[in-house]
Structure 1
Amino acid sequence: MPYPDKLLADDEEVVRHLHPHWLTVFRPVVSFLLVVGGVSFGAALVPAGPQQGMIRLAIVVVAALLLLFLVVVPLLRWRTTHYVVTTHRLLFREGVLARRGRDLGLSRITDVSYAQTLWERIIHSGTLTIETAGDAGATVLRRIPDTDRVQQLLAFMIEEDADRRAQENAWYIRGDGLPPAEGWRSTGVR
């Protein structure tokens, strides 16, 4: 699903759109299988009699509640968490009912580092730490897929943004106005 264009500036393009690592949904999938298997087994064990239907209905209702909290909510959290790298900034959005987000201009990012445990190296995941100019402190993003490449991409995009700004300033200082929209961008962004 492409990131909503309404959140982007006219000359801004999405370079990479990520969700948390796919292993984040592993626990909800296992929970789904365990709940469905347990409900099937439990419903089969209910003895025949006049209360059999009510007991099975109670088992199904409990299973539905478990599925809601153990499967649906975590999957919705995963699906509604976005990490977007654009040509101008880094955007974070998360939340199912209540939303929160943060936009970091590439020009404000002073350092991007990543950390991976041995397990995270095996599954190609990790934690990104982004330092910015200002007093907000570091932004820590956990369970980022392909962390080392995302860190390299951010470093590249920060350099691209600095080059674009320098070229725009040079055009402005010379009195030529703004540079052409596509004139500054190199071919290696994607």
Structure 2
Amino acid sequence: MGYPDNVLAADENVVLHRHPHWKRLVGPVLVLLVTSAVAAFGAGYVSQTDWDPTARNVVLAVIGAVWLVIVGWLTLWPFLNWWTTHFVITDRRVMFRQGVLTRSGIDIPLARINSVEFRHGIVDRILRTGTLIIESASQDPLEFTDIPRVERVHALLYHEVFDTLGSEESPS
């Protein structure tokens, strides 16, 4: 049983489960490609030199270590953050969880949601992503960025909120 199934109540059902939009991974992928190209070029250059073999091996090890640190920090870490960030809508609540080593999260009962908004600019519209803004009864509005297909999520959440409340205003 994986997330989010392991945190649900007995008769609670997942309506939607999303990770942030893939656009968050574009920068880390570019860093991986550029860093790998620079490291490969540097290693190829050092391998062609007529340096002492021990010095050449030390420089190659330094290039490898620097590559590993940069890739781990600027590529692997953002990917793990993306993978461990969850936006979940159930038939009872909205859940948001994030974090690799230190987890944080928030649950918003559907009955406490006052309004649901979305916002996206031209690039977000092209990529079909955006920011979902949820205002609950007791808090300042919460903004969830890079939600894939934010308009559909907005409509789905709107329907779930009205279905939960059993309102006569519930859209058909």
Q: Does the TM-score normalized on the shorter chain lie above 0.5?
A: yes
Tell me which structure has the larger Cα radius of gyration. 1
Does 2:74 match 1:70? yes
* RMSD, matched Cα: 1.7
Does 2:47 match 1:44? no
CA shift for structure 1 position 2: 5.1
* Structure 1 residue runs without a partner (length 5+): 167-187
Give the TM-score of the pair, scaled to structure 2.
0.91
- 4+ aligned runs moved over 3 Å, structure 1: none
Kindly provide the CA deviation profile for residues 141-183 of structure 1, in whole angstroms up to 9, marking residues without a partner as x: 01111010000000011111112x99xxxxxxxxxxxxxxxxx
Separation of aligned partners in 2, 1:83 and 1:29: 23
* Structure 2 residue runs without a partner (length 5+): none
The amino acid that maps onto 2:116 is V
SS at match of 2:146: coil
CA shift for structure 1 position 48: 2.9
Residues 1-190 of structure 1 mapped to structure 2, 5 A cutoff: 3-46=3-46, 47-50=49-52, 51-134=55-138, 136-163=139-166
Q: How many residues align?
A: 165
More strand per residue: 1 or 2? Answer: 2
The amino acid that maps onto 2:44 is A
Kindly provide the CA deviation profile for residues 12-47 of structure 1, in whole angstroms up to 9, marking residues without a partner as x: 100110011011111111111111111100111112
CA shift for structure 1 position 5: 2.3
Q: Quick one: percent identity of the two aligned structures? A: 36
SS at match of 1:110: strand
